[in-house]
Amino acid sequence: MAPTAENPVETDLLVIGAGPTGLFATYYAGFRGMSVAVVDSLPELGGQITAMYPEKQILDVAGFPTVKGRELVEGLVEQAGTAEPTYLLSRTASTLVEDADGVTVGLDDGTEVRAKAVLITAGIGKFSPRPLPVGDDWLGRGLEFFVPSFQPYAGKDVVIVGGGDSAFDWALHLEPVAQSVTLVHRRDAFRAHARTVEAVRASRVEIVTKAEVSAIRGNGTVESVEITVDGEVTTRPAQAIVAALGFIADLGPIQQWGIEVQKRHVVVDSSMRTNLARVFAAGDITEYPGKVRLIAVGFGEAATAINNAAVVIDPSAHVFPGHSSEGS
């Protein structure tokens, strides 16, 4: 029988967000003996990594000197599976009502989830890419916002627009595959990690700064771009453009739940608890003094949140679970 408002999903913990932090939290909740349901607005597990960076090499996960995004997600999904979670994908958590015994979360398809505690691991919330001003009508015809696979760029002249981590990561990974890679940025300073910038500078990628892509030309698909630098316009061949200009993030309905929010992030204390007694948060969505937004940090926050939620779910439980390496 499909879950509805009349036939709700019953669970100890509801995890909102199925990215790396949410998947690890799901596993860890199972480790602590909780039943778990997971909701995510995307149709697949893995969050932003699955949607945008499956081929990206991730360098800040303990135990992996380097790991591809999709491989990390595969491992996390397998690990989370040990908790036997109920996955509610392609659905958005719309409403939240907290009472003395638990939390009721309504989803946008009419499903209700009744949980004893909620953990929000929604990353940056719903996100949409910032558009390239001259990119209207070219999306899917040579212009893309993400690079989920490198092979389609083999042998092509690629122009990447942006100066952040995504732009430089993709430039570095496409350089061995493409015929040429040109990175265009409107400033001569970059937001990307210094190590990646140096690696791109040492490659055959051409970096054009204080510049913008001012026009796109082609017959049906992209064939060339015009780049304007200090008023001078040059035309160069391009069969592919990647607009890596960042994202517009939206917490969506979460902002209406009575949770304290600061600059589009959920405020938590040292136990990862929000201002609502049964609602916790972990990962990039959280805000507290000294917050660092890394996947590795999200994993630790997930464990902290689950251990503290355990006492809310079962008052006879202990925050500290004992070491995972200890025998029974």
Q: Return binding residues.
A: 21, 40, 48, 53, 93, 127, 284, 325
Q: Using alpha carbons, select from 81, 78, 19 the residue that is nearest to residue 46.
A: 19
The candidate with the shortest Cα–Cα distance to 28, out of 291, 282, 228, is: 282
Q: Contact at 8 Å (CB) between 15 and 34?
A: no
Phi/psi for 147 (5° steps) reads -125, 80
CA–CA gap between residue 212 and residue 210 (Å, rounded): 7
How many degrees, rounded to 5, is the angle at CA 87 between CA 10 and CA 299?
Answer: 100
Cα dihedral 150, 155, 160, 164, rounded to 10, equals: 40
Q: Count the Cβ atoms, other than its own, within 10 Å of residue 295.
A: 20
Cα 260 to Cα 275: distance, rounded to the nearest angstrom: 6
CB contact at 8 A, 223 and 217 = yes
Question: Which residue positions form the known binding site for FAD?
Answer: 21, 40, 48, 53, 93, 127, 284, 325
